[in-house]
Amino acid sequence: MTVYLVRHAKAGDRESWEGDDSLRPLSKPGAEQAKGLRDQLGGRSIRRILSSPSVRCLQTVEPLAERLGLEAEPTDALAEGAGTAPIRRLIRSLSGTDAVLCSHGDVIQELLEELAREGTVEPAEAGRLAKGSTWVLEERKGAITSARYLDAP
């Protein structure tokens, strides 16, 4: 199974945003990145799209979901600060279904650091985490067996 782990696209500035940070939307460049993600992944055999409930994550995958005729499913397993246990459980639960997971830099960074310690990701590569970028993870029998980086569109 293939999991496309996407860091949300560029959003408005956190420091200047007033109100609940989970409601902070994509910036204009981020909206363009979301369209680029649609084009980058739109031809793949993706069956599910799951996302952090944060607006910026949902907006990142909405153009792709629309192209594929899928709904973006919000899940707290991908929320900012969720850690790696929930995302690993989520990946195992997908059981052979190619999927896109959209999350935040902290969650993805923690997972990449674990994968580097396990030997799945080169330690020097684990820091590659541009907004709008994707890590393509291959999973077999509940374990992530390989990972490769796709630049942000």
- Cα–Cα distances in Å, from 85 out to 21, 60, 81? 23, 23, 11
CATH assignment of the domain containing 56: 3.40.50.1240
Confidence (pLDDT) at 57: 97
Ranges of residues in the chain whose predicted pLDDT is under 50 = none
Confidence (pLDDT) at 95: 82
pLDDT tens digit sequence for 69-80: 999 999 999 999
pLDDT tens digit sequence for 36-70: 999 999 999 999 999 999 999 999 999 999 999 99
Confidence (pLDDT) at 17: 62
For the chain, the domain total comes to 1
Q: Give the whole-angstrom CA distance, residue 20 versus residue 5.
A: 24
Question: Which residues constitute the domain of residue 96?
Answer: 2-150
Confidence (pLDDT) at 16: 74
